């Protein structure tokens, strides 16, 4: 019997990255029947974190204690994390190997109904409003904000990092010592991520690695590719409203910085409000961002379209263990 701290992410990571890691620890813990324990998270009071912890404390641990007929106070400490670069890709990859499923299908099977019930109550408690026409909406998240300038503004072909992590799922299972706590890489805490293997994969594909994020970082999808995607969505869903969800940071008057074909644009200063729009719609289009990919776990509509990058590969989308019918775009 073991108990695992729900590790969050350090600054400057924000709510999307924190919840992404926490949800994957939940998936791994559930599969192993480990108890889960709160650990520090600076977004503890945000909408989805509140929902997450209520599920852990009031449902998950209670049900597991009854199932195992044990007292979790006697549990042995363990860790369900990975070490080194790209932990937010290697961690879901291991979850896919252990469960034989992509992480979205596993979440929907085991957690979605519980989380949805708690989420709806919390939305009412906080007096948020669910869009009335959400079943006829296409919500497109644009990753802008701090990615408009600098390294993260540089485009790259996310298909290569996606394929690298996706292919790894079918390989020999990656083993990580559950007794090793978080910390810097050294002889006793080896990196889970094999940088040399990653570089060799790119070389064999004839693709150059871009930036410090190694062609696997949050960045905007260029408008020319988004225009093609939106055109296809207009044709397929002629009666749907197309709504852009983006950060208000660096916004120009009348949203002139977003040169796309859309019907409405939401640029709230409240991240929780934006998440509600990303959850309540018929078709969700995710960007290269953990923010929208976290919303996808809770999505109420009929389909999700994901931008390909290392995170989608690690999540098992498009892999042999993909049980969803979600779409991928470049």
Per-residue pLDDT tens digits for 272-284: 999 999 999 999 9
Tens digit of each residue's pLDDT (9 = 90 or more) over 90-133: 999 999 999 999 999 999 999 999 999 999 999 999 999 999 99
Do residue 102 and residue 249 come from a single domain?
no
Average pLDDT estimate for 317-322? 97
Contacts of 103 (CB under 8 A, 6+ apart): 23, 24, 27, 92, 95, 96, 315, 316
Average pLDDT estimate for 47-53? 98
Residue 256 within any structural domain of the chain? yes
Do residue 287 and residue 243 come from a single domain?
yes
Residue 180 within any structural domain of the chain? no
Average pLDDT estimate for 163-191? 96
7 band by pLDDT with thresholds 50, 70 and 90: very high
Residue 283 belongs to a domain with what CATH number? 3.40.50.2000
Q: Judge whether residue 85 has pLDDT over 90.
A: yes
DSSP annotation of 92 reads H
Contacts of 200 (CB under 8 A, 6+ apart): none
Residue 257 within any structural domain of the chain? yes
**Higher-confidence residue: 139 or 12?**
139
Q: Which of 4, 1, 45 is CA-nearest to residue 182?
A: 4
Average pLDDT, the chain: 96
Do residue 108 and residue 143 come from a single domain?
no
Residue 221 within any structural domain of the chain? yes
Give the total number of structural domains in the chain.
Answer: 2
Residue 182 within any structural domain of the chain? no
Percentage of the chain lying above the pLDDT 90 cut:
95
21 band by pLDDT with thresholds 50, 70 and 90: very high
Pick the range with the lowest mean pLDDT from 142-151, 223-232, 264-273.
142-151
Q: Judge whether residue 199 has pLDDT over 90.
A: yes
Do residue 93 and residue 145 come from a single domain?
no
Per-residue model confidence (pLDDT) at position 160 = 98
Do residue 107 and residue 147 come from a single domain?
no
Tens digit of each residue's pLDDT (9 = 90 or more) over 235-283: 999 999 999 999 988 888 999 999 999 999 999 999 999 999 999 999 9
Question: Other C-beta atoms within 10 Å of 41: how many?
Answer: 20
In order of 49, 265, 274, 313, the CA distances from 147 in angstroms are 24, 19, 18, 22
Q: Judge whether residue 152 has pLDDT over 90.
A: no
Average pLDDT estimate for 286-308? 98
Per-residue model confidence (pLDDT) at position 150 = 82
Question: Other C-beta atoms within 10 Å of 73: how many?
Answer: 8
- Residue 99's domain comprises 2-124
């Amino acid at each position: 019997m073991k108990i695992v701290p729900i590790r969050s992410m350090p600054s400057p990571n924000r709510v999307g990255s924190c919840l992404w890691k926490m949800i994957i620890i939940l998936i791994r813990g559930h599969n192993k029947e480990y108890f889960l324990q709160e650990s520090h998270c600076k977004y503890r009071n945000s909408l989805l974190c509140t929902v997450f912890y209520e599920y852990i404390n009031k449902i998950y641990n209670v049900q597991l204690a009854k199932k195992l007929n044990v007292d979790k106070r006697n549990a042995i400490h363990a860790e369900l994390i990975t070490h080194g670069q790209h932990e937010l890709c290697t961690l879901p990859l291991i979850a896919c190997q252990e469960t034989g499923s992509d992480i979205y299908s596993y979440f929907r099977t085991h957690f979605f109904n519980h989380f949805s019930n708690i989420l709806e109550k919390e939305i009412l408690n906080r007096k948020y409003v669910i869009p009335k026409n959400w079943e006829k909406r296409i919500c497109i998240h644009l990753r802008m904000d701090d990615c408009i300038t600098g390294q993260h503004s540089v485009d790259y072909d996310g298909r290569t990092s996606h394929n690298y992590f996706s292919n790894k799922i079918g390989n020999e299972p990656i083993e990580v010592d559950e007794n090793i706590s978080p910390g810097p890489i050294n002889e006793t805490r080896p990196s889970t991520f094999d940088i040399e293997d990653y570089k060799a994969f790119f070389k064999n594909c004839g693709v150059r690695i871009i930036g410090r994020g190694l062609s696997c970082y949050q960045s905007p999808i260029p408008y020319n590719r988004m225009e093609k995607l939106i055109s296809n969505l207009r044709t397929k869903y002629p009666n749907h409203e197309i709504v852009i969800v983006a950060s208000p940071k660096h916004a120009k008057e009348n949203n002139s910085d977003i040169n796309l074909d859309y019907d409405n644009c939401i640029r709230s200063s409240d991240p929780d409000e934006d998440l509600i729009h990303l959850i309540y719609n018929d078709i969700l289009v995710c960007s290269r961002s953990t923010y929208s990919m976290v919303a996808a776990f809770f999505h109420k509509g009929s389909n999700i379209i994901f931008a390909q990058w290392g995170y989608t590969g690690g999540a098992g989308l498009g892999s042999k263990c993909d049980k969803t019918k979600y779409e991928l775009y470049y």
